[in-house]
Chain A
Amino acid sequence: MAEQIFFFVFAILAVGSAIAVVSLRNPVHSVISLMVCFLQMAALFVMLRSPFIAVVQVFVYVGAVLVLFLFVIMMLDIAKAGMERFVSGGKLWVIALLGALLLEMVLMISRSRLSAITAPAAGRLTGTVREVGEALFTKYILPFEVVSLILLVALLGAIVLGRKELR
């Protein structure tokens, strides 16, 4: 019962801050609400017994990605960036389409057999970091190396794109 209450608190905060991200006018405020949303998601990951993912979420998203966003907003001209909130008119069909999509997804999920799956009492996973590390460095070592290569390329690309003159 307590778990459900916590889930509702985190879920409502996450959805509310996500709506704030999309609807706020100032990009700085959007970044702050996105931070709130990501912290709620980290809490949900803890509730799902994945503490490593929660920590990575806080480190990578809140610690790195959002600070990067804030730096870029700081470099740009924020007064010029204070722009219209939504494009006026002609976009009602987008909202209608998204509402229909949401309705369809919720209907499909609630009618499917997914709701019959309950949480395992004592499963195989212990939820420790050791488990994730062992899997990552034995069975999934090739994707791990590929991802590290992708990160290296992204680093080089960001440096090349950020230089003053492109030749």
Chain B
Amino acid sequence: MVPLSWYIILSALLFIIGTAGVLLRRNILIILMSLELILNSVNINLVAFSYFLQDLRGQIFSIFVITIAAAEVAIALGILIALVRNKAALNVDEIQTMKG
């Protein structure tokens, strides 16, 4: 049998890889993909706890996480298209119109 801690360590590994992608890459598409990776690693955690504790709430929550992630990607890519149409830049360091 696979113990619970293995799933959690796997999810921690994927979370760290996703965070590294967000922090180290400058391509905005790769950053969005890394965000998806982070959300999915959390899903592994939720579903693993749902199975090991025999509680349905983890699965329900992960369905909502998947839905919100889909909405987030739609909005983010819409913003990206509008951004590239106005100013061709995929590097996040060059996107500083709002002086953030």
Q: Which A residues contact B (CB, under 8 angstroms)?
A: 3-4, 7, 11, 14-15, 18-19, 21-22, 27, 30-31, 34, 37-38, 41, 44-45, 47-50, 52-53, 56-57, 60-61, 64-65, 68-69, 72-73, 75-77, 80-81, 83-87, 91, 94-95, 98, 101-102, 105-106, 109-110, 112, 114-115, 117-120, 123-125, 131-132, 135-136, 140, 143, 147, 150-151, 153-155, 157-158, 160-162, 166
With contacts defined as CB atoms under 8 Å apart, how many contacts are there between chain A and chain B in the complex?
A: 225
Q: By the criterion CB–CB under 8 Å, are B56 and A135 in contact?
A: yes
**Chain A positions within 8 Å of B18 at CB level:** 18, 22
- The main secondary structure of chain A at its interface with chain B is helix
CB pairs A–B below 8 angstroms (11 shown): A15-B14, A21-B33, A45-B47, A48-B7, A98-B16, A101-B19, A109-B8, A158-B75, A161-B75, A161-B78, A161-B79
Q: By the criterion CB–CB under 8 Å, are B81 and A22 in contact?
A: no
- What is the CB-to-nearest-CB distance from A165 to chain B, in angstroms, rounded to a whole number? 10
CA distance A42 to B51 in the complex (A): 15
Q: Which B residues contact A (CB, under 8 angstroms)?
A: 1-10, 12-14, 16-21, 23-27, 29-30, 32-34, 36-37, 40, 43-44, 47-48, 50-56, 59-60, 62-64, 66-75, 77-82, 84, 88, 90-91
Q: By the criterion CB–CB under 8 Å, are B59 and A72 in contact?
A: no
Closest to B27 in A: A83
CA distance A142 to B1 in the complex (A): 37
Q: By the criterion CB–CB under 8 Å, are B78 and A34 in contact?
A: no
- What is the CB-to-nearest-CB distance from B66 to chain A, in angstroms, rounded to a whole number? 5
CA distance A115 to B33 in the complex (A): 31
Q: By the criterion CB–CB under 8 Å, are B81 and A106 in contact?
A: no
Which 4 pairs between the two chains have the least Cβ-Cβ distance?
A161-B78, A154-B71, A123-B54, A22-B21
Closest to A21 in B: B33
CA distance A81 to B37 in the complex (A): 21
CA distance A18 to B81 in the complex (A): 25
- What is the CB-to-nearest-CB distance from B10 to chain A, in angstroms, rounded to a whole number? 5
CA distance A38 to B80 in the complex (A): 23
* Further pairs besides A27-B27, A53-B47: 8, Cβ < 8 Å: A50-B50, A68-B77, A80-B88, A105-B12, A110-B9, A112-B5, A136-B63, A155-B74
Closest to A86 in B: B24
Q: By the criterion CB–CB under 8 Å, are A117 and B4 in contact?
A: yes
Most buried by A among B9, B20, B55, B66: B20
Most buried by A among B26, B60, B63: B63
